[in-house]
Chain A
Amino acid sequence: MILSDLIGAQVADAEGTHVGTVVDVRFVIDGNPGQLLADARLAGLLVSPHGRSSTWGYERSGATGPWPIAQWLRWLHRGLFLVHWEDVSMVDVGRVALRAGYERHDAALGPRTSDG
């Protein structure tokens, strides 16, 4: 599977109700140790109920500027949530189904204290 199989896929819950579009995926770096970093593992999908475009990074940071752009992107992706990969029951061409009782998680990454 490659990333473009998932991005843009329509997401439905167990009853078949449309809940949104996959706009991005979330990886964590905790797989097998590699040369520099551990392997990346697919942790979940970012599902946007209204938007289909890129989030330009606003979903994971608390960035509020520049005001008009941030507002527009937040409005476009209102209700965006993260589903864990374990809550995905089926992946088909352009279609993703979620398990009954799946959980919607906040898409924001935890606050960073490092200075970059």
Chain B
Amino acid sequence: MKRIFAVALGILTAIGGFVDIGDLVTNAVVGSRFGLGLVWVVLVGVVGICLYANMAGRVAAVSGRATFEIIRERLGPRAGFANLAASFLINLLTLTAEIGGVALALQLASGVDPMLWVPLAAFGVWIVVWRAKFDLLENVTGMLGLTLIVFAVALFLLSPDWGSLAGQALAPTVPSSESVATYWFYAVALFGAAMTPYEVFFFSSGAIEEGWKRKDLMTERLNVFVGFPLGGLLSIAIAGCAAVVLLPEAISVTSLSQVVLPVAQAGGTVALSFAIVGILAATFGAALETTLSSGYTLAQYFGWSWGKFRRPARAARFHLSMIVCIVVGVLILFTGVDPIAVTEYSVVFSAVALPLTYLPILLVANDREYMGTEVNGRGANALGVVYLVIILIAALAAIPLLILTGAGA
């Protein structure tokens, strides 16, 4: 059990990237409209986030610097602030969506209107951020989030035509009912979700919270190479379930109840309860991840003391900024906005945040002053540059595609 808990940080980080509320729905939408025709994007995203999260985690363990500290140091105040503004908006919009997502998951379990759950969900997030120890919060949400594996189990129980699924995945085509632009919009959305910047902010800051040092580099790698592929697997399983059950019936996914429909069909009430627990844990975990990331990025940019390893009074601005974020999130939700739609627009801010986040990580991972002998090898650098180009292209394409397709409508 201790072994499993050792990778909890990686698992929780990946859950926030791959199966938070926006992605739960996006994955099911993609499955119900494109089958497994976008699985390759998830795989490209998993490789990219493994590469860069590993660099960020290594930099944190060896030099004791979290990602936003090196962003500020390498890019200077102006470009660093541009990144802060964009990343902060992504965090805030995602945090808003996750609180809404927790409320939607509670509605799924209880039938009570989600608006009534919002204050409770927000309070829950705050009290955990304020009181709970870091390893407790990552262990509980990470492990409970793993019950989302029920989607993979459901896929097997549905006994689909594996040949046709493999065909969709290996020879992707754009269905005749969809436009090429829509296909690429979802490709960019899935890639952006896989590499969303708060993952590296949270992972590198979590490494400092856990006190990782050079001797913990194996643990760091284990977290990366177990957590993120697992996140990718869950994401593909959700798309797969939708491809098998919802695609043939031409059901268009707009809500969480449709996301879990295939699970209920395959495994009945028991499987459905697992799925609900998983969704609740995943959205709650993602809410914690984005709340803490808001605090981490602000504190690391402005040089405030931060971290849950300090008592709140010793990191007052860090905690206060997170409280403000949660309150703003609740206020946004009370306007009646659809929490799931909120995350779609955070793709826009990724255009600025993604390149300005991953470039400094790559630069510092090459700096012997920080890294000593633990600098990047040639392979990591070559792949890092290739991914930087992919990130730039995706970032530049994101906004035109969003406008052109009306957010994938």
Bitwise, A18-51 to B at CB < 8 A (1) or not (0) is 0000000000000000000000000000000000
Let me know if B385 and A112 touch, CB within 8 A: no
Bound-complex Cα distance A57 to B73 (A): 9
Give residues of chain B (363-398) contacting chain A, Cβ–Cβ below 8 Å: 363-364, 366-376, 378, 381-382, 384-385
Q: Does B76 contact A (CB under 8 A)?
A: yes
Let me know if A112 and B369 touch, CB within 8 A: yes
Let me know if B372 and A115 touch, CB within 8 A: yes
Let me know if B385 and A66 touch, CB within 8 A: yes
Bound-complex Cα distance A115 to B62 (A): 9
Closest to B386 in A: A66
Q: Does B317 contact A (CB under 8 A)?
A: no
Let me know if B62 and A116 touch, CB within 8 A: yes
Bound-complex Cα distance A56 to B376 (A): 17
Across-interface contacts of B364 in A (CB, < 8 A): 57
Q: Which of A54, A66, A114 contacts B381, CB < 8 Å?
A: A66
Across-interface contacts of B214 in A (CB, < 8 A): 115
Let me know if B378 and A116 touch, CB within 8 A: no
Q: Which of A54, A60, A61 contacts B76, CB < 8 Å?
A: A54
Across-interface contacts of A61 in B (CB, < 8 A): 367-369
Given A63-B366, A66-B384, A69-B363 in contact, is the A57-B372 Cβ separation under 8 Å? no
Across-interface contacts of B401 in A (CB, < 8 A): none
Let me know if A56 and B368 touch, CB within 8 A: no
Give residues of chain B (43-63) contacting chain A, Cβ–Cβ below 8 Å: 62-63
Q: Does A65 contact B (CB under 8 A)?
A: yes
Let me know if A116 and B362 touch, CB within 8 A: no
Let me know if A62 and B368 touch, CB within 8 A: yes
Q: Does B75 contact A (CB under 8 A)?
A: yes
Bound-complex Cα distance A70 to B378 (A): 13
Bound-complex Cα distance A112 to B76 (A): 23
Bound-complex Cα distance A64 to B363 (A): 10
Closest to A54 in B: B76
Min CB distance A70 to B, Å, is 8
Across-interface contacts of A67 in B (CB, < 8 A): 381, 385
Q: Does B221 contact A (CB under 8 A)?
A: no
Across-interface contacts of B378 in A (CB, < 8 A): 65
Total interface residues on A, CB under 8 Å, equals 19
Q: Does A16 contact B (CB under 8 A)?
A: no
Given A63-B367, A65-B375, A109-B369 in contact, is the A57-B63 Cβ separation under 8 Å? no
Q: Which interface residue of A56, A66, A69, A109 has the most chain B CB atoms within 10 A? A: A66
Q: Which of A56, A109, A112, A114 contacts B74, CB < 8 Å?
A: A56
Bitwise, B242-260 to A at CB < 8 A (1) or not (0) is 0000000000000000000
Q: Does A101 contact B (CB under 8 A)?
A: no
Q: Which of B371, B376, B381, B385 contacts A116, CB < 8 Å?
A: B371
Let me know if B368 and A112 touch, CB within 8 A: yes
Let me know if A57 and B381 touch, CB within 8 A: no
Min CB distance A115 to B, Å, is 4
Min CB distance B397 to A, Å, is 22
Min CB distance A65 to B, Å, is 4
Let me know if B369 and A66 touch, CB within 8 A: no
Q: Which of B62, B79, B381 contacts A65, CB < 8 Å?
A: B381
Bound-complex Cα distance A70 to B384 (A): 13
Closest to B385 in A: A66
Could you list 21 examples of A-B contacts with CB < 8 Å? A54-B74, A54-B75, A56-B75, A57-B73, A57-B364, A60-B369, A61-B368, A61-B369, A63-B363, A63-B366, A66-B362, A66-B381, A67-B381, A67-B385, A69-B363, A69-B385, A112-B369, A115-B372, A116-B63, A116-B369, A116-B371
